[in-house]
Amino acid sequence: MKGMKKYYTQKIMWYLLTLVFAVLLNFILPRLMPGDPVSTIASKSVEGMTDATAIQKVYEDYAAKFGINKPMYVQFFTWVKNALRGDFGISFSQYPRTVSDIISSSVLWTICLQLPAIIVGWILGNLLGAIAAYMKGVFDKAILPAFLFISNVPAFGMATVLLFVFSLKLHIAPAAGGYASSMIPHMSLAFMKSVLSHYQLPFWSIVIITIGGQAIGMRSMSIYELNADYVKYSRFLGIKDHTIVKYVFRNAMLPQITGLAMSLGTMIGGNLVAEMVFSYPGLGTTMLSAVTGQDYPLLSACTLIITIMVLLANLLVELLYAVIDPRVKASQQD
């Protein structure tokens, strides 16, 4: 157990370090480019102002807030200090809302959409992949090309397909938004119903895409495991096929967990774009409006939050994996 404690600490430390680098990148990358964002912010804020003293005042405010004239590292610490307090400044495009206010509501929508969708997609995908590997024959031959194709449809593509079929043609589900536009978010049955009906299409488009990719991976892992030596040995000891199948699928599933961790970033990125198709009130749509509104503070806060989310999810998956797979424990004992 001591080995595991060390393993966990190491993992957590590593992710903390990664976080530091991610934060650094989030700060430095835009500042390396021509057109310092802070000056841009300041000059944007004074657009249309004619009063010279007012302009001066705005510049001074920003100078104080971001420490424009101070050295880079001082700026960095000021920025980090503000960020830690949840202060990402004020949004340009949705003035006078603060960035943290906008982000905090959209983060919740995104998490509530993507987390269940990815988990459901992962489970269903693994199930179908395992079945395809085990049944072989017609089921496998029919389902494999379908999954292969689906796994190559981008998430936003699946989103538009579902939108077209189920919303525009069949009128089963609403096309856009997270809830009926006539409603104001509050806790009521009617609102929840509206949220749920708006939830379906984005949810299923993410689920289907996830299924495609996971099923392919699980299928080939299962085939690989079905040919493993322990399968043959277990058979020759008279163990029932369905017990052996359990071994196989458990073992085939384990690499799928690490695979999930590895591809989580790409997946979440793709799903955010799918959110935009539905104008879902999550981070994807917020990011789009930040770009179109030239809203730098909002955009950089979005990217930071997404990075933190991905890192957290990754860390969780890795820690979970260590509990499930005894091989991790074994490797710690050497």
Partner 1 sequence: MKNTIKQIFHSGKFVTGFVIFLAILLTIIIYPLVVAKDPLAMIGNGNFFKPGTYLSIQDTVNSGKTYKMNVDATASIVESKLTMDNRSMMAEWLEKYGGVDASEIDVTDAEGLIALWEEKYDPNAEQKGLIAAKKKKYQRLDNEIDGILEDVPTIIAEKNEETGELEEVQSIDSKQYINEKDVINRQNFVLGTDNFGRDVLTELISATGSSLKIGLVAGIIATVIGLFLGLLAGYLGGFVDNLILFFTNLFTVIPSFVLLILISYSVGESQRGIMMVALLIGITAWPWTTRSVRSQVISLRNRDHVNLSKLSGHSMLRIVLTDILPYVASYVVMAFILQISSGILAEAQLSMIGLGPATTKTATLGLMMQWATQYNAHLNGAWWAYFPVILVIALISFSLNLMNTGLDQVFNPQLRD
Partner 2 sequence: MGKVMLEVNNLKTKYVTRFHEDVYAVDGVSLKIEEGKSLGVAGESGCGKSTLALSLMGYYFAPLHYISGDIIVDGRKISGMKPDDVRKNILGNEIAYIPQAAMNALNPTQKIIRFVEDVIHAHDPKMPRKDIYDLAKERFQILGLPEEVLQKHAVELSGGMKQRTVIAISTILSPKVLIADEPSSALDVTSQKMVIKMMRDLMEKGFIKSMIFITHELPLLYNVTDDIMVMYAGQIVEKGTAKEMVFDPLHPYSKGLMGSIIVPEEGVREQKLTAIPGTPPNLKHPPEGCRFADRCPYAQPTCRGMKPEVIELPNGREYRCLMSERKVREVYANA
Question: Taking contact as CB under 8 A, which single stretch among the options 25-33, 86-94, 122-130, 189-197 is the one that binds partner 1?
Answer: 25-33
Which one of partner 2, partner 1, none is in contact with 233 (Cβ closer than 5 to 8 A by kind)? partner 2
State how far the Cα of 61 lies from the Cα of 38, in Å rounded to an integer. Answer: 12
197 is in the binding site of which of partner 2, partner 1, none (Cβ under 5 to 8 A by kind)? Answer: none
Binding letters toward partner 2, positions 228-267, x by CB under 8 A? xxx-xxxxxxxxx--x---x--xx--x-------------
Sole window of 5-13, 41-49, 120-128, 297-305 interacting with partner 1 (rule: CB under 8 A): 297-305
Q: Pick between residue 47 and residue 334 the one whose CB is nearest to partner 2.
A: 334
In DSSP notation, 69-96 reads TS-HHHHHHHHHHHHHTT---B-STTTT
- Told to check if 161 binds partner 1 by CB under 8 A, we report yes
Return the one option of partner 1, partner 2, none that residue 195 interacts with (CB less than 5 to 8 A, by type): none
Cβ closest to partner 2, residue 244 vs residue 310: 244
Q: Considering the complex, what minimum distance in angstroms separates the CB of residue 31 from partner 1? A: 8
As a whole number of angstroms, the distance between CA 170 and CA 158 comes to 16
Q: Where are the alpha helices (DSSP H) in the chain?
A: 2-32, 37-45, 52-66, 72-84, 99-135, 137-150, 155-162, 189-226, 229-236, 241-277, 283-292, 296-324, 326-333
Position 94 contacts partner 1 (CB under 8 A) = no
What residue 30 binds from partner 1, partner 2, none (CB within 5 to 8 A, per partner kind)? partner 1
Give the phi and the psi of residue 244 in degrees, each rounded to 5. Answer: -65, -40
Establish if 148 lies at the interface with partner 1 (CB under 8 A): yes
Nearest to partner 1 of 40, 188 (CB atom): 40
The torsion angles phi and psi of 90, rounded to 5 degrees, stand at: -110, 140
Fill in the per-residue mask, 202 to 231: x = in contact with partner 2 (CB under 8 A), - = not in contact. --------------------------xxx-
Q: What is the DSSP string of 2-71?
A: HHHHHHHHHHHHHHHHHHHHHHHHHHHHHHHSSS-HHHHHHHHHTTT---HHHHHHHHHHHHHHH-TTS-
Instruction: State yes or no: residue 163 binds partner 1 (CB under 8 A).
Output: yes
Smallest distance from the beta carbon of 57 to partner 1, in angstroms?
27
Phi, psi of 184 (to 5 degrees): -110, 130
What is the CB neighbour count within 10 angstroms for residue 183? 13
CB of 56 to partner 1, least distance (A): 27
User: Is residue 111 at the binding interface for partner 1, with CB under 8 A as the rule?
Assistant: no
Cβ nearer to partner 2, comparing 26 with 251: 251
CB-nearer residue toward partner 2: 253 or 305: 253
CB of 240 to partner 2, least distance (A): 6
Q: Nearest CA to 297 among 101, 111, 58?
A: 101
Angle at 215 between CA 214 and CA 217, to 5 degrees: 65
